């Protein structure tokens, strides 16, 4: 099958690779680059577990062809913080119980980070609207909203 050369900068690191037209950004980042923070929940844009920031904008990477974002700057949860050095958003999720099983968390953290950059002091309603593309089956959302409120408040 025909392949196409692409370059991606993921979490600050440059990668050159050959992809088929049909390969989606999510599978390329997970399976080829072994960056497995982003999760595949639904593959239909509904759950937000695959959220990455691509050229400054949070998107559902399961609906993006890798070849179509040749040259892009990509950020996953790994680019935000790690166990040794948690980002304030990650810390707030841990402290306020915004994380339980954790499968939705990489998507929530990436989305929360992007959302707060645009709107650093949101109301609860704005948080619920901004994060409505991320599903969580464990927390019931209240603690996620609390976590996001806590980050926003600490940064006041």
Partner 1 sequence: MKPFEYHEPKSTAEAVGLLSKLGPSVKILAGGTDLIIQMEQRTCMPRHVVNVMRIPELQGVSGRSGTITIGAATSLREVETSPLLRDKAPVLCEAVSTIGSIQIRNLATVGGNLCNAAPSADAAPPLLILEARVRTVGPQGERDLPLKEFFKGPRQTALQADELLAAIEIPEPPCGFRGIYYKQSPRYAMDIAIVGVAVGVLRSNGKCDEARISLGAVAPIPLRVAEAEAILNGNSPEERLVNTAAEISRDAAKPISDVRASADYRRAMVETLVRRGLNTLLSN
Ligand X SMILES: Cc1cc2nc3c(=O)[nH]c(=O)nc-3n(C[C@H](O)[C@H](O)[C@H](O)COP(=O)(O)OP(=O)(O)OC[C@H]3O[C@@H](n4cnc5c(N)ncnc54)[C@H](O)[C@@H]3O)c2cc1C
Residues 32-61 touching ligand X, rule: CB under 6 A, are 44-46
Which parts of this chain interact with ligand FES (CB under 6 A)?
40-43, 45-50, 60, 62, 99-104, 136-139
Count CB-CB contacts under 10 A for residue 38.
25
Compare residues 35 and 104 and give the one whose CB is closer to ligand FES: 104
Is 21 near ligand X (CB under 6 A)?
no
Binding site for partner 1 (CB under 8 A): 1-2, 4, 20-22, 24, 43-46, 48, 51, 57-60, 62-65, 67-68, 111, 114-115, 128-130, 132-134
Q: Residue holding tokens 């949070």? A: 58
Nearer to ligand FES, 5 or 113 (CB): 113
- Give the angle subtended at the CA of 112 by the CAs of 43 and 9, to the nearest 5°: 65
Distance of CA 3 to the CA centre of its chain: 27
Please choose, from the candidates 63, 55, 56, 58, the residue with its C-alpha nearest in 3D space to the C-alpha of residue 25.
63
Q: Are 49 and 39 in contact (CB under 8 A)?
A: yes
Which CB, 110 or 136, lies closer to ligand FES?
A: 136
Residue nearer to ligand X on the CB measure, 28 or 59: 59
């Amino acid at each position: 099958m025909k392949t196409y050369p692409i370059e991606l900068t993921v979490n600050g690191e440059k990668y050159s690779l050959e992809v088929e037209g049909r390969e989606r950004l999510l599978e390329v980042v997970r399976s080829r680059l072994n960056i497995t923070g982003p999760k595949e929940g639904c593959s239909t844009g509904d759950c937000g577990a695959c959220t990455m920031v691509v050229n400054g904008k949070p998107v559902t990477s399961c609906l993006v062809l890798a070849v179509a974002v040749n040259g892009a700057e990509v950020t996953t949860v790994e680019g935000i913080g790690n166990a040794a050095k948690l980002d304030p958003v990650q810390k707030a999720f841990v402290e306020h119980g915004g994380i339980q099983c954790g499968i939705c968390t990489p998507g929530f953290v990436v989305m929360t980070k992007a959302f707060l950059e645009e709107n650093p002091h949101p109301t609860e309603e704005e948080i619920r609207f901004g994060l409505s593309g991320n599903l969580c089956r464990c927390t019931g959302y209240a603690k996620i909203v609390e976590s996001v409120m806590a980050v926003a408040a600490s940064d006041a």
